[in-house]
Amino acid sequence: MPASPSPSPLFVTTRWSVVLAAKHQDSQQAMETLCRAYWYPLYAYVRRDGHTPHDAQDLTQEFFARLVEKDWLRAAGPEQGRFRTFLLVAMKRFLINEWHKNTSQKRGGHITHVPLDAEDAERRFASEPDLAPDAMFERRWAMTLLEQTLTSLEAEFAAASKAEDFQALKHCLTLDRGSISYPELAAKTGCTEGAARVAVHRLRKRFRELFRASIAATLAEGEDVDMEMKHVVAVLSSV
C-alpha cells in the first residue's frame, strides 16, 4: 500500500481549488463535482427543516442552479473559512429569500442539474437520527468526508492489487485494538500474525492521513486542521 501522505485524487471533490474553478463560466465539470459531493447533506438539512421529499428535491436542485446563475460562488474562497459553513449559510439564505414556489421552474430546466436519486435519498433519510436541521447537516457533512476517505483508501488498495485485503481489514478501522483477532486476519489474508498486525497499523495510519487531508482541504489556509478534525470526529460520535 502506498505510504505517501499526499491525498488521493478522489479528494478533489473537497478542495477549495474546485470551488474556485467552479466560479468560471467554463466550469460545468467543477460545479457538477461539487454537486455530487455535497447534495445529500444539504438535502437532509432541507428535509429536516420540514419540507416534503418532493419540495426538498426541488429546493436542492434550485439551490445548486442558483449557485451558477446568481454567481453566489463569487463570495466563496479559502479566505472565507470553512466551505461547509459557506454552503449552510448560503442554503439558509436561499430558503428564506430566494425560493418562491409559485414562480419556480420545473426540475430539469436549469443550467445545473444535480444528479439526485430521490428514492435513495429518502431511504437514507429514513434511517437518520432525529436531529435539528443544523446538526443534521453537520452529521451528513462529516459522514460525507468519512465515506470519501474510505472510498479513497479502497482505491489505493485496488491500485496495489490488494482489494481483497482491504475487504478483510476494513472492519479494523472501527474496532478497539484489543478486540481485533489477528490470527483470523492472518488466515484471511494469507500472512503471518505479525504481518497482519503491521497491515492493520498501516491501514489505520493511512486512513488518518487521508481523513485529515480531506478535512484540511475544506479549510482556509492557516485554520487549525486538528481542531476541525476533532470537531468532525465528535459529530460522528455524537449519535
The pLDDT tens digits of the residues spanning 136-174 come to 999 998 998 899 899 999 999 999 999 999 999 999 999
* Separation CA 154–CA 203 (nearest Å): 10
* Separation CA 38–CA 43 (nearest Å): 9
pLDDT (0 to 100) of residue 1: 42
For the chain, domain boundaries = 9-237
pLDDT (0 to 100) of residue 156: 96
pLDDT (0 to 100) of residue 84: 82
Q: Are 13 and 33 in contact (CB under 8 A)?
A: yes
Entry pTM: 0.72
DSSP character at residue 88: H
Which residue has 478542495 as its cell numbers? 15
Which residue has 463570495 as its cell numbers? 75
pLDDT (0 to 100) of residue 96: 85
Cell of 103: 414562480
pLDDT (0 to 100) of residue 65: 78
Q: What is the pLDDT along the chain (239 residues), one digit of tens a residue?
A: 444 444 333 333 345 555 555 555 555 665 666 677 788 999 999 999 999 998 898 888 888 877 767 666 665 555 555 778 888 988 998 888 765 554 444 444 444 555 667 788 899 899 998 999 999 999 998 998 899 899 999 999 999 999 999 999 999 999 988 899 999 999 999 999 999 999 999 999 999 999 998 888 777 667 788 998 999 999 988 86
Phi first, then psi: give them for residue 25, nearest 5 degrees. -65, -30
Q: Are 91 and 65 in contact (CB under 8 A)?
A: no
